[in-house]
Amino acid sequence: MEDGRGYLEQILKKIAKRIDEVNETIAAGDEDIRSMQEYYWENYTEMDEYGYENYDNQQALFTQLSANSEQLLYRQRLRRMLDSPYFGRVDFVYDGDDEPETFYIGIANFSEGAGQIPLIYDWRAPVSSLFYDYDKGEASYTAPSGEMKGEILSKRQYKISGGKLIYEFESDVKVDDEVLKRELGSNGDTKLKSIISTIQKEQNAIIRNTKDRILVIQGAAGSGKTSVGLHRIAYLLYHDRNSLKSSNILILSPNSVFSDYISHILPELGEENIREMSFDLFAYRQLNDTVYDCEDKFDQIERLISGEESGAGYKYKQSKKFAELLNGYVLMLEDELMDFKDIRFGKMYKPADEIMELFYYKFADIPLLSRMSEVMEYVVDQYETLVGRDFSEEDKALIEEKFYSMYETRDIYELYSRFLKENGYDELPDVPYEKRVLRYEDVYPMLYLKYILLKSTEHKNIRHLVIDEMQDYSYMQYLIIAKLFKCRMTILGDKDQTIDDESIDVTGFLPSILGRDLRKIVMDKGYRNTAEIAEYAAGLSGVKNVKILDRHGAPVCEEICESFEAALDKVNLDDSTSFETTAVLVMSEAEALKAYHYLKKKAMKDVASEDRVDFTDEHSNKKAGRQSEDITYIDKNSVSFNKGIIVTTFYLAKGLEFDRVYTIYDSARSERLYSHAKYICATRALHELYMLGYEK
């Protein structure tokens, strides 16, 4: 068998050589770009009057810039491969052959030259599925030419970092559990880890799924569903390179910190990054012409966790029943909102009854508030054709005003307020635009009303939509998503991480909204937490039937403290070497701010006390400053987090993971929402979990 270190040295030399070649290509391209730019500025005044030469120069410049950009991305990928060129190897003998072929599996394809057999195969290549799906023995994979059968004679796994071989061994299972446990047992990071070296068979089936238009993944906490979803996107970009680009994909993510946490995955896998946005931000932008500001989901959660409201009103306003009421209201507006009048403008005349007929019959399929625009265009076009001349833009604006005056109002805010009053709710405040601030429970009903009253722009450029934390989206939100996105989707979530007083399984109603051709897959094996943490978390929320990886660690520490501050005193501020990331998770924003300031102050005092010098001493101050800088606070406006101690709320920690977690909670509260919050906190911990209750 080929020596692992010897092959690695050969590969690294070849990659380094290719990087030198790419550097030369980039340098030559830069020189060509400079020459083109110099030629243009020296000669543009003498270029032909029709601009052909100018156009040709611009096209040549664009082509070279594009080529250089591709080479820069290629160099970036090669540099990543210098750090770790491959992680697996399969020796496979095809049926009918005598000698096996060796396939090294890595982050990307690499060969010595164009058209040559790869020395390393991209983890997404068809042959790479042998590594993920089979033990030694009979195996097959699907190539473009059909199913390829044979036998795996040997499988090896490698850990390479910094161009150095850390370990290698023969693997007798699909992806050896010992490798998986070793990888999961390492410290957490401020970025989500790529899983290409540890993809499990059931995960691989999801990643390589190209058949299902809508894939709904119900995954237990720590099952790797977000990683699988992102790796699936990378696979689809590789598989459908001619028809799918990164600009065709949108991720709806919970918040900006989570977006930052996952932002490096696709670039690490050799793809460009893709757009990410919270659905609340999207809604705010869509309603910005109607209201000055909107609350977000976090405002709603704060009211729920404080007990300020029960959430019953919010849930009803997001329900199927409420959507049906809105649909019925719009049907009533067909008559109530209109006051048809004759139209006269110069010599153009259209009687009210003909306008009414056009409105209710010819353009009946157009949404109510967009319909009069279609009627106007029809009438104006008729007249312009008859007289053989067009109205000016100024005249068209005046005519449009006449047509729009037949609506009693086109203000969505006012129309929604009337709807609320008619259905027994308080009206929205009658205030000027700059004072219109919409409560969260009304954001999506109003947006839904807008989309059934006005033409909504379907986002045809988005060809794949990824929705994470699917359990946090309401029926109303999914109705809106279905109106805007007619594309393929990957939808991920965990019903047991619902921020509510009951677990919500949205897969029950999704087929009625998105179509019955969706496929639901359950990921029931947890990989993130140690067995001790996973078992404890399951007990908090009553989660059953979750398979737990046999990775053990410290027992969960439970303690009831006499006060909130006493619980915070249990947080170890001095252990900066054992773990990269520690989280202090609390239930509300007010508690998070209080905890953050308390711990910052404590860090300063502790260091000054240890040094046994005055607190104003320069040495103590610098040391205390460094230690307190390791404590950071995350709120809903944060965009990233760093190593050290993170203080935040349970709802902003969703989707993230930390080496160690301190959960601080009111021990007197036992309602279901609080249990769900504690479950979310517990499942964030990789290695150590402290559950610290406090008494009032």
C-alpha distance from residue 249 to each of 208, 464, 466, 530 (Å): 17, 5, 8, 34
State how far the Cα of 392 lies from the Cα of 118, in Å rounded to an integer. 64
The values of phi and psi at residue 310, to 5°, are: -85, -25
CB burial readout 312-331, b (16+ within 10 A) else e: eebbebbbeebbebbeebbe
Pairing of strands 557-561, 685-694: parallel
Strand partners, 101: 92
Strand partners, 350: 343
Report the length, in residues, of the chain. 696
C-alpha distance from residue 135 to each of 2, 91, 107, 602 (Å): 20, 12, 21, 54
pLDDT at 174: 47
pLDDT at 1: 43
Q: Is the dihedral of CA 86, 91, 95, 99 positive or negative?
A: positive
Question: Residue 625's CB: how many other CB atoms inside 10 A?
Answer: 12
Pick from 650, 652, 609: nearest CA to 627: 609
Q: How many CA atoms lie within 13 A of 127 on its CB side?
A: 24
The values of phi and psi at residue 260, to 5°, are: -65, -40
Q: Supply 530's token pair.
A: 């140690």
Q: Supply 188's token pair.
A: 């957490």
State how far the Cα of 381 lies from the Cα of 537, in Å rounded to an integer. 67
pLDDT at 191: 55
pLDDT at 621: 47
Long-range contacts of 326-331 (CB under 8 A, 24+ apart): 326/419, 326/445, 326/448, 326/449, 326/452, 327/452, 329/419, 329/422, 329/449, 330/368, 330/449, 330/452, 330/453
State how far the Cα of 236 lies from the Cα of 245, in Å rounded to an integer. 9
Q: Is the dihedral of CA 491, 504, 685, 658 positive or negative?
A: positive
For 221-233, how does the pLDDT look when each residue is reduced to its tens digit (9 = 90+)? 888 888 888 889 8
- The beta strands (E) that lie in 550-678 are given as 557-561, 581-586, 631-633, 644-649, 658-666
State how far the Cα of 681 lies from the Cα of 482, in Å rounded to an integer. 32
Task: Answer yes or no: pTM beyond 0.75.
Answer: yes
CB burial readout 532-552, b (16+ within 10 A) else e: bbbebbbebbebeebebbebe
pLDDT at 476: 96
- Per DSSP, 456 falls in state -
Distance of CA 532 to the CA centre of its chain: 29
Averages of pLDDT over runs of 10 residues in the chain (696 residues) are 75 93 89 79 65 70 81 86 90 94 92 88 92 90 92 90 86 54 54 69 88 92 85 88 88 80 70 83 92 93 89 92 97 94 93 96 95 95 92 94 96 97 95 96 97 85 92 94 93 86 84 92 85 89 78 93 95 76 95 95 73 48 56 88 89 90 94 90 93 91
Query: What spatial distance separates the first Cα and last Cα of the chain, rounded to whole Å?
Result: 67
Question: Residue 32's CB: how many other CB atoms inside 10 A?
Answer: 17
